[in-house]
Amino acid sequence: MDENGSSQFIESTLNRGILEEMLLVALFILICLLVYFIYHLGNKHVSENNKLSLNTSHLKLLFFLLLGSVFFWWIWRHWATLTSILTPFIFAAVFAYAFNPLVKYLMSLKLSRFVSVLVIFISLILLIVGFSYIFFPMMVTEINSLLTTLPDIGKNGYNRFSDWYQRIFGNQNIIPNTIEDLFESLNVDFQSITDWFSSSIGTIVSSMGSFASSFVHIVTVPVLTFYFMKDADRFTVFAKKLILPRSRKWVFPLLEKMDVVLGGFIRGQLLVAIIIGTLSSITLMILGVEYWLVLGLLAGIGDLIPYIGPFLGALPAVFITLSSDPWKTLWVIAAFIVIQQIEGNLISPKIVGHSVGLHPVAIIFVLLLGGSLWGLIGLLVAVPLAGIFKVIIESIYDWFKARYPRVFKE
């Protein structure tokens, strides 16, 4: 497309956007005139006692409802832009929330909030610098090598699995003799699966690369985290002022319960993921597995997702070793089983506990629901959101039970 064509396309797009805005404004004015007409027409045909009346309070309420509707409509129209802008703020808020108990602990040692936050930031910077100096070059080398050899690893793993399948089921007449025949009988196009896997890996890598190369996010998130942590008391006071005085007696206890659930889960799950990632990396290094640092990191990230995550985190290590040394795969599977048993019986009960208070069946349900709705992000936020929802439902139940005790009598 030449320059004139590009300019005409942009101009037509802008004109369409302006036309849509004008039509929506005209529709809004038309609805207001229609409501005004129906209001006066209705009052002419009813008795004096049944007439509708609009006082100043009603007009204020109507104005704020219309203003809120316009605000939410504007958010919906510009959701993609707002998401990219709010992403660093969300990350910074989560980090500040996770480190807030540590800030309070340092403040209990007679340090000011500013000094406490400064101590935490300096410690984190030293930790990150030390980690980067020791492990970052190794991690970059492993990632580059893994991305280069991933197609060969996948081909070798497929060939090994195909040979194993043919040795076991090659002489059977009940089921297909080869893995290709098995896929064909199941109406599975293996080439489409490999193409999808390759494209998914490429998309994930490019997304991670674009985020890592975004200097704005790299700089903005730590700066926002610092200010969120330093001025947390001011934000808390400001948020409390937004709540009506008559509502504070039930809103504040509700927020405290949410804080217990959300804070306990987020901080505990992050700490457990760090421990599991470290244990996995050390175990894979001892077993002599290639890419042990990256595979341990993936195991730690996967552990952020309850119940399902540990299995997802172990799959890359199993897949890598299966393509090179099937016997080592058995050791890797046994090692991950032991690590997950240690986590489930010792680490998680001590650190995370039962902060969310959901049954395992409910957790698996909300994970599947969150994953189907929002993908990976849904898997990460499904459990804490379900915990918050549970607190709200329990508070509503307690309110109804106190308000209508007769209904709940046995």
pLDDT score, position 9: 47
Asked if 177 and 170 touch (Cβ cutoff 8 Å), the reply is yes
Does the pLDDT value for residue 109 go beyond 80? Answer: yes
pLDDT score, position 282: 92
The 3-state DSSP class for residue 225 equals helix
Quote the tokens at residue 390: 């549970």
Does the pLDDT value for residue 272 go beyond 60? Answer: yes
Range with top average pLDDT, 44-58, 114-128, 186-200: 114-128
pLDDT score, position 375: 74
Predicted confidence band of residue 119 (pLDDT cuts 50, 70, 90): very high
Going from N- to C-terminal start, the domains of the chain cover: 21-72, 86-242, 244-410
pLDDT digits over 47-101, tens only?
656 555 656 666 666 777 777 777 777 777 777 777 777 778 888 888 888 888 8
The 3-state DSSP class for residue 172 equals coil
pLDDT score, position 197: 52
pTM: 0.64
CB atoms within 10 A of CB 29: 10
Does the pLDDT value for residue 105 go beyond 80? Answer: yes
pLDDT score, position 118: 92
pLDDT score, position 384: 83
Residues 116 and 111: their CA atoms lie apart, in Å, by 6
DSSP 8-state assignment for residue 170 = T
Mean pLDDT of 118-141: 82
What is 49-72 written as a DSSP string? GG-----HHHHHHHHHHHHHHHHH
Does the pLDDT value for residue 257 go beyond 80? Answer: yes
Residues 347 and 353: their CA atoms lie apart, in Å, by 9
Mean pLDDT of the chain: 75
In 3-state terms the chain splits into helix, strand, coil percentages (rounded to 5) of 85, 0, 15
Q: Which residues of 156-193 are buried (b: 16+ CB within 10 A; e: fewer)?
A: ebeebeeeebeeebeeeeeebeebeebeeeeeeeeeee
Mean pLDDT of 367-387: 80
List the one residue out of 333, 343, 331, 347 whose CA is nearest residue 286: 331
CB atoms within 10 A of CB 74: 11
Asked if 383 and 268 touch (Cβ cutoff 8 Å), the reply is no
Does the pLDDT value for residue 190 go beyond 60? Answer: no
Does the pLDDT value for residue 187 go beyond 70? Answer: no
CB atoms within 10 A of CB 310: 20
pLDDT score, position 35: 66
Quote the tokens at residue 319: 């897949």
Amino acid present at 254: L
